[in-house]
């Protein structure tokens, strides 16, 4: 099969890889229908040291089951399924708590002999625990929005849930990337009245307004904080969907005492400000990597009936062989989120 | 009047100060009956640069109203009152949310011309919003436990509340100081089944067991973490009642993925680990300086009927003139918490 492999910063190649086969009786092989490039794929795209072996890329995909292992009981060949961005057994204590991202038998696509999602097919471990069957056809117009359940939409939702967003809230979303925009959708879905979106990419913030953002703040740094405070008087609930220190600093500057900052972007820093000043302000820092599997069934009806349309974050489509162009276009911020079709 | 003033690290003096008088119409003057030394007073006791002017010390006190300003309506001379460790108007937006520590018109004892609590009398700003009238006599045996509402007990309670402690929980309390021990009381009061107390001072951990700790872990660092994990398999709710990096590291090591660490000790660090590892684990960092005023009325009935007896943390009493000895004894860990009586 053909699949995308990263060999170092800026070096993504689409090449021939062995066709996936059932290894464990709990595996399924999924023929990918749509996949995509994640904002988090851009971090290694910018910084990965060169390697000879390469790393299969992609952790968001939707496809048709081709084959199942002997122990798979809930899925069969021909089923259309979406994969959350990590696999999980859905039975361990963490999964039972809805924290599938910490599954004791879980793991990541592209590691430990498991294929990446940016390819023609994927062997999915713990298929019963991982994959969610979709009541849709493989050529449905809803595929992009269903694919978004794999990561961006369930991640945005995780931010809104952990920030405690509820009816009539004012919420700040920092970042106009695909996750930030999905966080806007999620905050609105949970009843937020006012959603301030901090971002400066006009096409993206325009989409954010369509998703439910009531205000857009394009200013950065202290100026951005001042503008958000002017608009809101300070915000109790912040979703930080970037992962950089400047983004965290905007969150810290705009949040009210006693408020909550939920982080969705993988932090590009090891240490951060959690000293006496933050302590005296009673700030709560929460969020983290989304347990996407826990949220898919919850959000699925709203995607199916069109209440939410997170697939609108995909603004360009690439054939699999053009995956390197998809990375380049996203890294250059020419494309918000690239859909990849084998 | 006589009052304690700190002139630098290790240099506490009891000296003559002007008798407090009503300055603002919302002030009250309180004649102190009992006061005490706080663990947080020990930070400047160890590190404060020498100064000529000095800083009046103490922020926990209970006393009798001597005089009230013209605008004070809820209190009158002769009332026995307890003061939360900061003053607040109880009317601003933060107070309305129960976050009195962030009161827009609030402040700290010993600063801005306001007396400290370790003295014969205190001018209390925003008396109506700050002081809580106690249905007890000035010679009640309950005074130490009522005084504990000023800070340690309401702080321990803040930790249990922000950690989300509820019925049947397993809770880790890091630190066997007075706040840690009160956090044990608070966790038990909110229904925790199992309370692991991390501390190595035997008299204190013994009191912790009487307060409700079911397990004591005396080991430190990695050994302590391993022991807590062996006992519990990881803990969802941690109250960190010290404020040092080693204490935070025990909390981080012992908490389960998806768990919450509530900090009660003023952090003795500016930056801390909130990087990708903590992000992937979905840890929540919360807590902070307690809005004591918000909790006093809530805890008061349990003190009055003897359900909780946080005053047991006071293990030695000092006359006001011996306040310097009280600091020394606490700094040397000979005394857990010193009661000071003018």
Average of per-residue pLDDT across B213-223: 97
Task: Give residue ranges of A with CB < 8 Å to any B CB.
Answer: 94, 97, 99, 101-102, 162, 257-258, 263, 266-267, 269-276, 278-289, 291
Nearest to A286 by CA among A268, A267, A264: A264
CB A209 within 8 A of CB A195: no
Looking from the CA of B134 toward its CB, the CA atoms found within 13 Å total 31
Distance from CA of A46 to the nearest CA of B (A): 17
* pLDDT score at B219: 97
Q: Domain A2-151+291-341 is classified in which CATH homologous superfamily?
A: Medium-chain alcohol dehydrogenases, catalytic domain (3.90.180.10)
B225 Cα to chain A: minimum distance (Å): 19
Q: Where does the pLDDT of residue B278 fall: very low under 50, low under 70, confident under 90, or very high at 90 and above?
A: very high
Q: Which of A146, A192, A173, A158 is CA-nearest to residue A35?
A: A146
Q: What is the pLDDT of residues B219-232, one digit of tens each?
A: 999 999 999 999 99
Question: Using a CB-CB distance cutoff of 8 angstroms, which residues of chain B are in contact with residue A261?
Answer: none
User: Helices A152-162 and A178-189 sit at what angle, rounded to 10 degrees?
Assistant: 50
Specify the CATH number of the domain A156-287.
3.40.50.720
Alpha helices for chain B (secondary structure H): 42-47, 93-96, 127-130, 143-147, 152-162, 178-189, 202-211, 221-232, 245-254, 276-280, 292-304, 323-331
Contact A279 B266 (CB under 8 A): yes
A contact test, residue of B270, B277, B291, B293 with most A CBs within 10 A = B270
Domains A2-151+291-341 and A156-287 share a fold: no
Do β-strands B55-56 and A11-16 pair in parallel, antiparallel, or remain unpaired? unpaired
Q: Which of B267, B274, B279 sits opposite A289 (nearest CB)?
A: B279
State the nearest Cα–Cα gap between A266 and chain B, in angstroms: 6
Domain locations along chain A? 2-151+291-341, 156-287
B286 contacts A280? CB cut-off 8 A: no
The residues near B24 (Cβ < 8 Å, ≥ 6 apart) are: B69, B125
Q: Are strands B194-198 and B215-217 parallel, antiparallel or unpaired?
A: parallel
Positions in chain A whose pLDDT score sits under 50: none
The alpha-carbon gap from A61 to the nearest alpha carbon of chain B, in Å, equals: 21
Residue A282's closest CA among B97, B101, B294, B103? Answer: B101
- Complex ipTM value: 0.95
Q: What angle do CA B166, B93, B71 make, to 5 degrees?
A: 115
Q: Are strands A194-198 and A235-240 parallel, antiparallel or unpaired?
A: unpaired
pLDDT tens per residue across span B137-195: 999 999 999 999 999 999 999 999 999 999 999 999 999 999 999 999 999 999 999 99
Nearest to A267 among B99, B269, B279 (CB): B279
pLDDT at B194: 98
With CB atoms and an 8 Å threshold, state whether B284 touches A281: no
Alpha-carbon torsion (B279, B281, B282, B285), positive or negative:
negative
The pLDDT tens digits of the residues spanning B4-61 come to 999 999 999 999 999 999 999 999 999 999 999 999 999 999 999 999 999 999 999 9
Instruction: Supply the pLDDT for residue A156.
Output: 98
The chain-wide mean pLDDT, for chain B, equals: 97
Contacts of B285 in chain A (CB under 8 A): 274, 284-286
Pairing, β A284-287 against β B215-217: unpaired
Among B101, B258, B276, the residue with its CB nearest the CB of A282 is: B101
């Amino acid at each position: 099969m053909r699949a995308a492999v990263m060999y170092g910063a800026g070096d993504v190649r689409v090449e021939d890889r062995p066709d996936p086969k059932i290894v464990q009786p709990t595996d399924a092989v999924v023929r990918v229908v749509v996949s995509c490039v994640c904002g988090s794929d851009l971090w290694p795209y910018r910084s990965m040291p060169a390697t000879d072996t390469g790393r299969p890329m992609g952790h968001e995909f939707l496809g048709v089951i081709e084959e199942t292992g002997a122990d798979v009981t809930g899925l069969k060949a021909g089923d259309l399924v979406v994969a959350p961005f990590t696999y999980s057994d859905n039975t361990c204590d963490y999964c039972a708590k809805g924290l599938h991202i910490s599954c004791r038998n879980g793991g990541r696509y592209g590691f430990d002999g498991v294929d990446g999602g940016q390819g023609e097919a994927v062997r999915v471990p713990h298929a019963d625990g991982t994959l969610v069957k979709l009541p849709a056809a493989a050529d449905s117009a809803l595929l992009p929005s269903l694919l978004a359940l794999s990561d961006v939409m369930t991640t945005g939702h995780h931010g809104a849930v952990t920030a405690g967003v509820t009816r009539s809230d004012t919420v700040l979303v920092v970042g106009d990337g695909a996750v930030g925009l999905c966080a806007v959708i999620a905050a609105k879905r949970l009843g937020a009245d006012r959603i301030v979106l901090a971002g400066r990419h006009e096409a993206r913030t325009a989409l954010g307004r369509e998703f439910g953002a009531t205000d857009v703040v394009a200013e950065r740094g202290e100026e951005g904080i001042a503008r958000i405070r002017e608009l809101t008087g300070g915000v109790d609930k912040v979703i930080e969907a970037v992962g950089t220190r400047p983004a965290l600093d905007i969150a810290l500057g705009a949040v009210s005492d006693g408020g909550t900052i939920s982080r969705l972007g993988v932090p590009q820093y090891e240490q951060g400000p959690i000293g006496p000043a933050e302590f005296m302000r009673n700030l709560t820092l929460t969020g983290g990597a989304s347990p996407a599997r826990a949220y898919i069934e919850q959000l699925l009806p709203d995607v199916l009936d069109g209440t939410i349309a997170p697939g609108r974050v995909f603004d360009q489509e690439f054939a699999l062989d053009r995956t390197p162009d998809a990375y380049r276009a996203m890294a250059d911020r020419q494309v918000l989120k690239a859909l990849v079709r084998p």
